[in-house]
Every structure is written in structure tokens, then in C-alpha cells.
Amino acid sequence: MTITKNCIVTLDYSVTTSDGQMIDEGKEPLIYVHGGYENIFAPVEKAMEGKSVGDLFKVPVSAAEGFGEYDEELLMIETLDNLPEDLRVGMQLEGYMPGGDEEDTIIYTVTEIKDDKAVLDGNHPLAGIDMVFEGTVSEIHAASQEEIDAMLHHNHSDECGCGDH
């Protein structure tokens, strides 16, 4: 069987920066629905089309195609009075996008605390980084509509508690 639209694909993979630094060792396989559902990086999905179990792949993913270019506009300096008392570097907080409305929320990471202020960064931690996604196709099967619906609901649910997909 080859990878086509509406297949469930399982990949054993790793992700590195373009200069070889490990980002994700892929300790757990990546499972996605193939076919333009936007639940895997577009260049990786394009490269998977027509592949079979056992096929190897190595796909460059530019910052723009991955987690986006780094956006200075997503940096905020906030007074500590407006933030939780237990604030620490690395903590993540949900907040509004600059100039956005109440529906435009993003996750900010505390990157620095100094004096009575904190620097909050709304960029994804991998924004601005070119990556290389490589590995092996380990499983392929035709998906039922129920499987597709379940996977797409899981991958887009804000309440699943499993973090980034």
C-alpha cells in the first residue's frame, strides 16, 4: 500500500535543526491523517505522498513552513503586578495577541524576569528555525471516516491537555 489521501500514516522520525542539533528524537511514533488536513508540516506531507512501509525520508522544513518566522511584535514587557506571584522563567501563560480581540489568544513564555518586569514571548519556541524531518514510514492503512474524525478532533482540541502536536 502507498500513502494517499485519507490514509493513517505512522512515522518513526527525528527532527533536527538544519545544522544538525537534535530538536525531537521521536521517542514515540508520529501518527497523522494524510491528505491536506494540516496536521503535519506541509513539506513532510508532500514528501510522504506515494511512499510505502519501510521507505526512508529526509525533508527540509523552512522556518516559514514549520513554526513560522520569529516575530518581534509578539514580545511583551509586563509589570510583575499584572502576573502570577509564582512567576518564573520558562513558565507559559495564555494571553491576548497584541491588537487582537478576546478570541485571539496565544501562549506566552516567560523568557526573563528583571526588577519589576517580565519579558513574555508569544513566538513558538522553534519559530525562526529551519528544520530537517527524517525517518521511516512504519505503518499505513486506509482510514475510516470515524478514524479521520477522531484524529482531527484530537489534533485540534484545545482541551486535550497533550500540548503541541
> Read out DSSP for 64-125?
TTTT----GGGEEEEEGGGS-TT--TT-EEEEEPTT--TT-EEEEEEEEEETTEEEEE-S-T
Reading the block at residue 114, the C-alpha cell is: 528583571
In a domain, 109, yes or no: yes
Q: How confident is the model at residue 163 (pLDDT cuts 50, 70, 90)?
A: very low
Give the closest residue to 80 by CA, choosing from 106, 112, 50. Answer: 112
Q: C-alpha grid cell for residue 131? A: 528544520
Same domain as 137, residue 114 = no
**100 and 146 belong to one structural domain:** no
pLDDT digits (tens, 9 = 90+) for 26-82: 999 999 999 999 989 999 999 999 999 999 999 999 999 999 999 999 999 999 999
Structural domain containing residue 98: 72-121
pLDDT higher than 90, residue 160: no
Provide the whole-model pTM.
Answer: 0.79
CA distance to 43, 45, 47, 68, per residue, from 130 (Å): 12, 17, 17, 9
Of 67-71, 134-138, 144-148, the one with minimum mean pLDDT is 144-148
Residue 152 is predicted with a pLDDT of 82
**For the segment 71-130, what is each residue's pLDDT rounded down to a tens digit?**
999 999 999 999 999 999 999 999 887 777 777 889 999 999 999 999 999 999 999 999
- Residues in the chain, overall count: 165
| Same domain assignment for residues 89 and 137 | no
Considering the domain boundaries, does residue 161 fall inside one?
Answer: no
How many domains would you assign to the chain?
2
Pair (34, 105) in one structural domain: no
